Amino acid sequence: DGGITQSPKYLFRKEGQNVTLSCEQNLNHDAMYWYRQDPGQGLRLIYYSQIVNDFQKGDIAEGYSVSREKKESFPLTVTSAQKNPTAFYLCASSSGQGAGTGELFFGEGSRLTVL
């Protein structure tokens, strides 16, 4: 079945460590996104990529980095510069690069806890 796979589902990190969250899709979608979800704050966009080898900052990119070397993959690195990294992270993808008319398909999320 086609879909988006995020791993790991749960991750614990010590302060000062970088961690990388994996996101893989087999939907042949051009665009991919990373959102952060905190209780009571909805989803906030971290980074997005509309095509391979290109990505843009979202609303809360500080302390995060991404790469888009393959169409199927869009890993997110949470760096030690991110002051409050504990959150639920959601990866999504969509087809097309045009107007905001496409449905976002979401993975099941990764919960990061900083100890």
Q: Which position among 33, 34, 55, 64 is part of the footprint of other proteins (CB under 8 A)?
A: 33
Instruction: Find the part of the chain contacting other proteins (CB under 8 A) among 19-27, 69-77, 78-86, 92-100.
Output: 92-100
Instruction: Find the part of the chain contacting other proteins (CB under 8 A) among 15-23, 35-43, 61-69, 73-81.
Output: 35-43
Q: How far is the CB of 41 from other proteins (least distance, A)?
A: 6
Q: Which position among 72, 94, 112, 114 is part of the footprint of other proteins (CB under 8 A)?
A: 94
Q: Which position among 45, 52, 60, 61 is part of the footprint of other proteins (CB under 8 A)?
A: 45
User: Of 88, 47, 92, which Cα lies nearest the Cα of 66?
Assistant: 47
Distance CA 15, CA 25 (A): 30
Can the peptide bond before residue 75 be classed as cis, meaning omega within 30 degrees of 0? no
- Measuring CA to CA, how many Å separate 114 from each of 11, 53, 80, 109? 8, 30, 10, 16
